[in-house]
Each structure stands twice: as C-alpha cells, then as structure tokens.
Structure 1
Amino acid sequence: MNLRDALQTQTLVGDGALGTLLYSYGIDQCFEDLNRSHPDEVLNVHKAYVEAGADVIQTNTYGANYVKLSRYGLEDKVKEINTAAIKIAKQAAAEHNYVVGTIGGTRAISKQAVSLEEIKRSFREQLYCMLFEGVDGLLLETFYDFEELQTVLQIARKETKLPIIAQVSMHEPGVLQDGTSLNEALATLENIGADVVGINCRLGPYHMTQALEGVPLPKKAVLSAYPNASLPAYQDGRLVYKTDADYFKASARSLYEEGARLIGGCCGTTPEHIAAIAEEVKGKKPIQKKVVAPAKAEVETPREVEDTNPHLHEIAAERSSIIVELDPPKKLNTDKYMRGAQALRDAGVDSVTLADNSLASPRISNSAIASIIKQKYDINPLVHIACRDRNLIGLQSHLMGLHTLGITEVLAITGDPTKIGDFPGATSVYDLSSFDLIQYIKQLNQGLSFSGKSLGMNTNFSVAAAFNPNVRNLNRAVGRLEKKIKYGADYFISQPVYSVEQIREVYEATKHISAPIYIGIMPLTSSRNAEFLHNEVPGITLSDEIRKRMEHVSHDPALAQAEGIAIAKSLIDTAAELFNGIYLITPFLRYEITVELTNYIKEVNQQRSERTVLNGNNTISSASIK
C-alpha cells in the first residue's frame, strides 16, 4: 500500500525532530552534512523513531539546498548530501516505513533575504535529487512565507505524482504572518494539489490543537500536525524543551479528534514523544466528521489616537513643503535642542525629522524627543526607524508605541552599520531590510501584527523611504525607488546633494514617479566638514567645485559658514523649481542656519507664485484683447 492510500484508511505516525537528537549527541554543525560525515549517527536517529512506532520518516535534508548549504561552503554538495540522506533513511525504513523527502522553507520574516527566483532554482535542484532516488513522498515543512510555499508546491506538483505533504508554520494560532487565515491557506494548498495539508513547528500541542479547532476537514486532502515539544527555555546557551510523554499522548488524541491523519513531532520532540503518539493514535481509522469551532471574536477596546495633521506625502502632493532634520542630542541636556525645535516651528516647517542614532552613534531616543516636541510645540515629527538596532519584536513594539503617542510619520531605513559608530563591537540586528520594514509597517496599517495577528485597530502611518542619488548608476537607484513603492512607500527623502546639475539629473530620472521626493540639502560649515562628508560618510558626494569653494574660505569660520549657506541657497533655487519637497539637514544643531534657509525657501516659493500669477494675468489680458 502506498502512502496516499494508507492515509485514506488509517492514522499514521510521523517521526520527530532530527536536529534535536543530533544536537544531543554533541554534534553542533551543519546537520545535513552529517549524512556524509556521520552516516551512522543519522541512521541511529531514524532507527530510534522507527522503533518508537513512526510509520513515516523524513530524510535529513531540511536545509540541504543551495541557499542554506552555501552558509557552510557546501553549496556544491547538494546532490551528494541529499543522495546520502535518502539512502540512509531507506536503510532505516527497510521497506516497513514510508520515506518522505523533506524540503524546508527558506524565507522566514524577510522576503528580501532570498529572491523568489533563487528559491525556485534551489528548490528544483533539491527536488530532482529526491525524485531520482525514489522517495515515497515529499514533505514541504516549516514555511512561514506563504508565497514561497505556494510557489514550490506548484513546481513539485508539476514534476511528480508522488503524494505531497505541505505544512505551514504560524507565529500565532490560526493565522499566517501575512494575515492569511489558516483555513484559507490550507484550502489554497489543497487546490494547488497537496495530498496532505497541515501545520508544523513554532507552536506546541496546545496552540496547534487550538488552531485546528477552526479548520474543517479538507474535501480532497487530509490534515497533518507536527507540533513542537513545548515552548523552549534557554538554559546554558541552549534551547531546551519539556519532555512530558504523557502530555504528548493526550495531545495526540486531541489532534486526532480535530481530524489530523498524520501526526508527528517537530522541534524538541524525541522518540519518547513519538512512542506516546503511536500508543494513542497509530492505525486508528480517521474521523470522517467534525464540528468546527466558531471563530472567536476578539475584544477590541484600544483608545483611538486622533491625528489632525495631514501626512507629508499629501502636503507635498499639493504644495511646496519643507521638512528639517534636527538630530536628537548625544548628551542629556536638551535645552538647545528645544530652542531649535521651537525656532523651526516658528519658521513654519511642515515637520521636524529625527534620525535614529545616525552614523551608529547613540543619542537620546528619537521617539522620546518626538513626543515632547509634538506635545510642547505642536510639531509634526517624522521619526526615522533603523533596522540595525531592534529585532523584530523591538521594531513592532516601537511602532506600536509611536502609534499610541499619535506619531504617524516614519522613515524606514536600513541603518548605518555599527562598525562606523561609537561602539564598533555592538551587534547589528538587521532582522529586516528597509523594504521588509516598509511592508510590515503597511501591514500594521491594516490592523495586523508582524505575526499576522489582529492588533484590534489600524495604525495610520505614512511611510517615507530613503533615496540615495549619489551613486554611479542613477537608474539603478531609481529602480530601488520603484521597488520601495511596490512595498508601500508613500514618499522619499534623499541624501544631501551638492550639485545643481545633479538635482536636474534626479528630476529627469524620477519625473515618472508620482510619489513625492524631498530633496536633501545639508549646508556645509567648513572645509573640514566638506572633506569629511565627501571622503568618509557613506552616501554623500561633493563636487570638486564645492570643495574648492569651501577650501577658499577655510581661514575664516564666519566666511566658511556664509559660503556654506550661499551654496545651499543656490541648490535650493533649482530644487524648489523642480520639486515640491525640500529636506534641510541641520549641521551640528546649528538650527539658526536651517531657520535662515527655511525663510529663504519660503521667499523663493513666494516669488515663484507671484510670477505664476503675473504670467497668468498677462495671458488673460492678451486673450481679452484678441
């Protein structure tokens, strides 16, 4: 009897975690390469699960693809590792058990980590190894990214008629990280052609059972469940799981009653867990009917935060707009900063932007400063959010806090690496790229957590993205803008530019983009400042002419500052003509410089408006004469 037929008549027991046992033997390396280097240890793990009562054993190939093996320099060993794994599993099965070729998910939270095209190529290579060696079926497991699972399932279904088990993983019971309900996801997988649809990893038996309570029995496919042993504890540098076999036995009964016909274990499970599952459900006739639990309504009582300010992308779409970066202080005295914020408010800027520990140097929390200036001076703050300093948990918590404070303007950036900052030994997190962060902020606007769970209300963030025109290939930089728009960016803020010609080039290259662009202008304060920016700061390039002008007045600080302002004004003349948005960057908290430039921008805009009106009146007069 083949695997597909067996699942129609009986409940089958899957095996448990491979890595957990291999790790317990003291092996801490690329587990998939153990198929070559330590085949006996891998064989012993398979045999232990067979002896415990597993009907279906999976190959030790979860990460045996080009993408994951490349982390260990083993990308050229895909065929060798997969072939060895299948032969070892078949030896353990000895024709008494079904062997399924395991292929694990590649993406986790970040879609930018690996492109879909790269995933397709990597998947096909591993798939063909499985099919050539003659497995009894395929197990696609631990897929957090639903797009990835759908993509690889379509490929597999086209290439083989073998039974395919397709399992999603969830951060929260009943919902995938993109907000897709578990019901919808499993139905989609069934329609694509999966023979078994189910869930594995991340959740223990309790939450996995809870998730299945709301899932009806599939029309054509059958259900599977591979829970973790428990929630993990962190002890002595290792993740440790509880090993209560009696609890797992009772949990297997619950999963069976929810319709699961293939029940195994994931992280932390051992032969002891599988023996408990086998004792409870092995060989039982599958249930044919079940009562689906109604969806539980969430209690939603969060307070609404009113925001009367129009978003910056809306302002820039209608009229000229000025935003000014005033970085939070590096020291605890905020008196000068607050004077600067008030002066900028009085000058009439549309927003004060606050960098997030720019150049990887610690400053007072920008969200704390933003909250103060919003409350005290009625300033609309734009808070920069770097992926560098916070993991996924911290990023969502930070954004939820900003929402609660009524701060709705954010700039999503990758962030300068820690090596250039005050603490070069600090860790750069980078759970997400700026593209991912933009997308997840927009997911919060739909009322969904990064994990896909409801937040009880929608956020109202307007998301800015960074634009660096100081590159050799401007078209490639514009391509990144277009990609960020697809991910949800509402508008852009550019790195500072120091050339009239460059501003015109940027205009020509971006005039097809409807999203507003705020052109960055950062006044120079000295020749040394100019040389530092040009030679040491990533993303900033000065022309030779600008550097010479600053060098010419290097002997006199007052003349140098005046020259820096004059250069900025000449750039503003062109930028204000071509773009609605100007982004002034305050140097060294010298807010009086950006106040002067703000006033200058307003004068330029006023003169332009008067010329427009005058030209319009002349046109009307001429028409009347005719």
Structure 2
Amino acid sequence: MNRVNLLFDGGTGTYFAQKNHKMGLGSEYANLSNPKLIREIHTEYLEAGCNAIKTNTFAVNRIAMAGDEEKVKEIIAAAWENACAAVKDYEAEIFADIGPISNLSEKSDVAKEYCFVAQIFLELGAKKFLFETNANTEGLKEAAAYIKQRCPDAYIITSFAVLPDGYTRDGAMVSDLLEEIKACKDVDVFGLNCVCGARHMLSLIQDLNLEGVTFAAMPNAGYPIVINNRTFYDGDPKYFAEQLAKMAALGVKILGGCCGTTPAHIEFTKKALDGIPQIVSKPANHKEEESLSARLESPFWNRLKSGKKVVAVELDSPANTNLDKFMSGAWELKGAGADIITIADCPIARARMDSTLLACKIKREMNLDAMPHMTCRDRNLNATKALLLGSYAEGIRNVLLITGDPIPTAERDEVKSVYQFNSRKLAGFVGSLGKNVLPDEFHMFGALNVNAVNFDVQIRLAKEKMERGIIGFLTQPVLTKEALDNIKRAKQELGAYILGGVIPVVSARNARFMNSEISGIKVAPEIIERYEGKDRAQSEQLAIEISVDIMKKISPYVDGYYLMTPFGRTRLIAEILKAFAEQEEV
C-alpha cells in the first residue's frame, strides 16, 4: 500500500444497518444477539484489503447505556471476541474503538468514563486504541495517560469530527486541536473522521501542517440522504478511493472509512494506493484577504484598554417592528455619554428583534459602538458563524457571550432550544474565528453573577471563560453589600476588565418583582424600604441617588459601569450619568 501504514475498515454501524435492514437499532447490541453477522462484517472488510479493524463498540459506555456497568463489560468482551475471531486468518490489527462521551458537564467525569472503558479493553489484552468522532479534547489526554501508565507500548489514535469549514460541533478549530494533541506525549496519532466527505476532508488536510505528525483520515462516503425515514450514503467507492490516495500523497499514514463506507470503498482504496499522485499542499492556516474597510476601530475598546472608565448601557430591543423608541433612546444615551450600547438576545427566552442586527444598525447609523449579547440557546454552530461573519463586516468588534435563559417549561413543546454550546465553548469558537478566519479578533466579554449564593463557582467559571479568550465581564447589578464584596473579590482574583452592573430600581413593587422573578438580581431589603409610599417622580429621584451612590462605591474596583435601562426609560439613565459626572467633577 505504498506509503500508508494502516488501512482501516469502514462504517461498521451503517453497513450493519444496510445488511440488517433495520435502522435505529444499535449494532453494538448485535455483538451479543447476532455475533455471526458482526464477524461476517469484519471479515468482509478484511477480504477487501484492510489491515486494521475497529471493535464494534462505538457507543458502548455507561452514559449511553444508562449506567449499566455489567452490560458495558459484557458487550465489550463480546465485541473483542468477535474481532479476534475475524482476524485469526489475516494479518490485521485490532483497535479498541471508543466513541465520544456526551452529556457530562465536568471534564473529570468525561476522563473517568473514558478510563473506565479503556480499563475493560486493557484487561482483555487490547494495546491499540482509537478515540473517534470527538468534538473537543475533554478527557482524551487524561485517558491516554491512563492507558500508557498501564500499558507503555500502547498505540493511541485520537480522531475528531470536523465540519468542512474546519470546526467541530463544539466550535473547536482543527488546527488548534492538532497543536493541542501534538503537545500530548501520550497520543501517537491525530486524525479526522466522520462528518466530512472525502473531498472536503482532503481540503482540510491540505491546509494543515503535517510535519512531525502521524495523521489518520477516515471520511464518510459522501453525505447522507433520507428516504422513507431511512438514511443512505450513495457516494461512489471509486471516487472515494481517489481522494484517499491524494491524502496519502500528502503524507497521511493511516486511512479508512466512516459512515456509509462499505467493503467496496475499502477495496477500491487499496487498489488506488498503489499509484499515489504527488500533490503540493496549500500553506497552513491561511486567511482570506479582506478589504481594509472591514478593520473598523472600536472607540469603546480603545478607551477601555487605555485605562479610562467606560460606560455601557443595556437597551432592550423591541418585541415588534417599531424602532422609533429604541433608536431615539439610543441617541439619547449617546448624548449622555454612553460609550457602547449593549442589546440582550431575546431575554427570558422570549422573541425580540435580533440583537446583532440592531447592533449593526447602531454602529452604521450612529457611529456608536454596540455590543450584541449572543446566547447559546437559539443557534447552532453554522448560524453562529454566519452571524459573526456578518456582524464583523458591519463593524461590530465587541460581543457578550452568555448561555441564555432557558425556554419556559410550558413552551418547550413548541419552542425548541439548541444549546450546541455553553458560553465557555462559544468563547473558544469565537476566539478561533478571530485567529483563523477574520482579519482581527472580537473582544469577547462574559457575564458574572455577583449575586450568586456560591460565588466560588462563579469565579471558577469565569477563569475557565478567560482560558477560552474572554477578556472582561459585565456583572449583574450591585444592590447588596454581598454583591459589592464580590465585585472587589472578582477584581482581585480575575485580573480581567470588570464593568460593574447598575440597575435603577423604580419602585418598591419593581424591587420585589426583581427579587422574586428575575434570576441573578437581588435587592437589599433596606433599599426596598426606601421606596415604600413614593410616587413615580419621587422614586425616580431616589433611583438616581441610589444608582450614583452605587457607582461611587464600586468605582475603585471596576473598569467601567454597566447600566441596565428599566422599561426603556433612557431619560432616567441619562440623568444618572449626568449626576454621576457632576459628582466626579467635585
């Protein structure tokens, strides 16, 4: 096979479904219920010319099997036996196949599950491991270290499912993943598998620097089509083989197939590898040239990084198409000294005019910086990337990345959440766009809840966000002594830009509502008492007084102020800013 070290089999699960004529039933259980068929599938791939097969265990772990440890052990043992029986008459390697661990929130839990599965394989005698179809590196390096400690001569491949644009579903860039895995001494091979067809995977590989890397490529057999609720891959095996031969010419040492690839795909690939063409790869990590007009300055950012206090004001977008009040309010805030307008992304999960579109309008028509909030709730990776590309072209340079409020329980049957990211992964994705696609990076901000009961957790999450590129935080409003203390602590421990939250309380009723209904806001009882019995005018005057006092108290510990406009009352915010400026001058 010329310069290729290993030629793997194809998509066992999809080929099982094709032969079994039953979609939706996991092939892994067939290790027990129909071992004869599983062994036949292994043998067909071996007859086609592969010299490495994967155990039929992609989705065998305690998470996928509802915590049933004995069933996990039973299926893995049967799968190992089936693979061993299939290769006894062939010179072929067996790789313990371990798919991604999902639905676990903690990295340590992911690593623990990988190690649990790996230990079962080690006890069976496995020395070669394939961790495949990953969207991130969580738990992989720990699992690799665990295996090498117990079996120093183990051989470990980590393979990632990367979309044609170079990103995983979690927003990790392929070049960043490659560099991270190259730095891990316990991983022997970096690979790509699934998601992409052969031609798109070839394009991804051409843009990577493979020097010093043992690389594995196992693309899908084209892209799926659905007929009568059944998924089919109809990619041409000969075309597939031609693309894999081109990958081998680039230095890819390990090849194979993923979803939809049959023994025919492997047979054509083996033949194609005998006459590999030479291909000149494109430079790695190149960026498309963009016009200088896209590199718009951000006065807000320039002021913030120069050490001057900044003022950000949140203004809710309308729930209809009438922008008159919103735009007139934005102009009023600009006149009052706001450096940037922030716009919530469908707060409390109720649809409003799109925050990013409005931010673009403000930047274009008012020459004022705007910071759209971007939640993880309503957009998948493709939609997020498309929106960021458009907003960058319109001059948006600052974004607030948050998870987003959940859909109210009563509406979940009609309105579906997406949540492909959490805010930390979203930050990693946006940061990667700036490094690999855009001329410059976005300035990414996060949210910090200074009213949280357990602020230790907030500090830990904030540090994780900073590791992903977050450079500053907009806090929830400070209306208690505890919140003020937490602002002080955040500034001391994080070393990030802090914009302290200020929300004018406009009545005692408003304060009680926020305490009871709005997550992340806490109003001190003594503040509520001061509003009792006051009319609107008196309450607004008190709101100015209290807000200015809060701004003065937090001033030594913040890099700016984040004012939230209640009920669209921009005049009230303008009065607060005026009163604060006058006191600052005294």
TM-score, normalized by the shorter chain, greater than 0.5 = yes
Match of 1:138 in 2: 129
- For 2:209 and 2:325, the matched residues in 1 are separated by 63
1:553 lines up with 2:521 in the alignment: no
TM-superposition CA deviations, 1:264-294 (whole Å, max 9, x none):
321111233234345555xx6x98xx85624
Match for residue 175 of structure 2?
A: 180
The share of aligned pairs that are identical, in percent, is: 28
CA pair 566-115 structure 1, distance change in 2 beyond 3 A: same
Q: Which residue of 1 aligns with 2:194?
A: 201
Task: Give structure 2 stretches of 5+ with no counterpart.
Answer: none
* 1:497 aligned residue: 478
Between stretches 492-501 and 167-176, larger displacement belongs to 167-176
Structure 1 residues 51 and 394, CA gap change in structure 2 (3 angstroms) = same
Contact 2:50 2:270 in 1 (8 A): yes
Select which of 61, 67, 80 maps to 1:65. 61
Q: Which has the larger radius of gyration?
A: 1
Question: How many angstroms does 1:601 deviate by?
Answer: 1.9
Amino acid at match of 2:98: G
**One-letter amino acid of the structure 1 residue matched with residue 577 of structure 2:** T
**Contact 2:311–2:340, Cα closer than 8 Å, also in 1:** yes
Q: Is residue 96 from structure 1 mapped to residue 93 from structure 2 by the alignment?
A: no
Cα distance, 1:366 vs structure 2: 1.6
What is the Cα deviation at residue 223 of structure 1? 6.0
Assess, with a 3 A threshold, how the Cα gap between structure 1 residues 535 and 231 changes in structure 2: closer, same or farther: same
Task: Give the 3-state SS of the residue equivalent to 2:547 in structure 1.
Answer: helix
Whole-angstrom distance in 1 between the partners of 2:397 and 2:228 = 42
Shift of 1:416: 0.6
For residues 41 and 389 of structure 1, do their structure 2 counterparts lie closer, same or farther at Cα, with a shift above 3 Å needed? same
- Corresponding position of 1:485: 466
- CA distance in 2: counterparts of 1:211 and 1:242, whole angstroms: 22
Question: In 1, are the aligned partners of 2:502 and 2:563 still within 8 Å (CA)?
Answer: yes
* Cα distance change on mapping 1:132 and 1:313 into 2, 3 Å: farther
Deviations 1:401-460 (A, max 9, x none): 1111111111111111122697773121111111112222222232x1xxxxxx2x4224
Q: CA deviation at 1:10?
A: 8.6
Deviations 1:142-179 (A, max 9, x none): 34536765554444344335562525334349999435
Tell me if the contact between 1:356 and 1:385 (Cα under 8 Å) persists in the aligned partners: yes
1:528 aligned onto 2:521: no
C-alpha distance in structure 2 between counterparts of 1:477 and 1:262, whole Å:
44
Matched position secondary structure for 2:298: coil
How far the C-alpha of 1:230 sits from its partner, in A, is: 1.0
- Aligned pairs, number: 578
Verify: 1:462 aligned to 2:450, yes or no.
no
With over 3 angstroms needed to count, the CA separation of the structure-2 counterparts of 1:164 and 1:585, relative to structure 1, is same
- The one-letter amino acid of 1:477's match is Q
* SS across alignment from 1:201: strand
Does residue 327 of structure 1 match 2:307?
no
The DSSP-based 3-state class of the residue aligned with 2:175 is coil
Q: 2:426 aligns with which of 426, 434, 437?
A: 437
Instruction: Quote the residue 2:282 is aligned against.
Output: 295
Give distance in 2, aligned partners of 1:322 and 1:491: 14
Q: Distance in 2 between matches of 1:376 and 1:11?
A: 59
Query: Quick check: 125-134 or 74-83, which moved more?
Result: 74-83
Report the CA distance shift for 1:75/1:558 in structure 2 as closer, same or farther (over 3 A).
farther
| Alpha-carbon RMSD | 3.7
TM superposition score normalised by structure 2: 0.86
Change (3 A) 1:600 1:21: same
Contact 2:507–2:536 (CA<8 Å) still a contact in 1?
A: yes
1:128 aligns with 2:119: yes
CA shift at 1:511, angstroms? 2.7
Separation of aligned partners in 2, 1:483 and 1:253: 41
Query: Are residues 577 and 604 of structure 1, via their aligned partners in 2, closer, same or farther at CA, if it must alter by over 3 Å?
Result: farther
Deviations 1:374-396, CA, capped at 9 Å, x for gaps: 23322211111111111111111
Q: 1:178 to 1:76 in 2, by over 3 A?
A: farther
Tell me: CA distance 1:494–1:82, structure 2 relative to 1, closer, same or farther (3 Å).
same
CA distance in 1 between partners of 2:64 and 2:522 (Å): 39
Call closer, same or farther: CA 1:398–1:97 in 2, change over 3 Å.
Answer: same
SS in 1 for 2:82: helix
| Partner in structure 2 of residue 416 of structure 1 | 405
**Residue 31 of structure 2 aligns with which residue?**
35
1:579 aligns with one of 558, 579, 584: 558
Alpha-carbon deviation of 1:344? 0.8
Worse-superposed segment, 49-58 or 206-215: 206-215
One-letter code aligned to 2:59: G
Q: Distance in 2 between matches of 1:364 and 1:414?
A: 18
Q: Does the 8 Å contact 1:107/1:144 carry over to 2? A: no
Separation in 2 of the partners of 1:528 and 1:185? 53
Deviates more, 1:305-314 or 1:399-408: 305-314
Residue of structure 2 in register with 1:266 after alignment: 258
The one-character-per-residue Cα deviations of 1:155-204 (angstroms, maximum 9, x if unpaired) are: 43443355625253343499994352899789768x7573x665433333
User: Is the Cα contact below 8 Å between 1:138 and 1:162 reproduced in 2?
Assistant: no
Partners of 2:479 and 2:391 lie apart in 1 by 33
Aligned to 2:218: 226
Of residues 176-185 and 576-585 in structure 1, the stretch that sits farther from structure 2 once superposed is: 176-185
Partner of residue 10 from structure 2, selected from 16, 36, 41: 16
Matched residue SS, 2:373:
strand
The amino acid of 1:247's aligned partner reads: Y
Q: Distance in 2 between matches of 1:474 and 1:216?
A: 43
**Structure 1 CA distance, aligned partners of 2:166 and 2:525?**
60
Are residue 376 (structure 1) and residue 365 (structure 2) matched? yes
Alpha-carbon distance between aligned partners in 1 of 2:455 and 2:131, rounded to the nearest angstrom:
41
Secondary structure in 1 aligned to 2:220? coil
Mark the CA change 1:161 to 1:181 in structure 2 (over 3 Å): closer, same or farther. same
Out of 566-575 and 462-471, give the one that drifted further. 566-575
Amino acid at match of 2:280: A
- 1:559 and 1:37 mapped to 2: Cα distance? 77
Partner of 1:606: 585
1:597 deviates by 1.0
User: 1:209·1:258 contact (CA, 8 Å) conserved in 2?
Assistant: no
Answer yes or no: is the 8 Å Cα contact 1:313–1:490 preserved in 2. no
Partner Cα separation in structure 2 for residue 8 and residue 251 of structure 1:
15
Deviation at 1:496, TM superposition (A): 1.5
Query: What is residue 151 of structure 2 aligned with on the other side?
Result: 160
**Partners in 2 of 1:478 and 1:188 — Cα distance?**
28
- CA-to-partner distance for each residue in 1:49-105, whole Å, 9 max, x for gaps? 345444432111123234x425x4445643222112111222333443535233335
Equivalent residue letter for 2:12: L
Q: Tell me, in whole angstroms, the C-alpha distance in 1 between the residues paired with 2:380 and 2:499.
A: 29
What CA distance in whole angstroms lies between the structure 2 residues aligned with 1:203 and 1:34? 27
**Preserved CA contact (<8 Å) 1:69 1:78:** no
Q: Is the 8 A contact 1:14 1:55 kept in 2?
A: yes
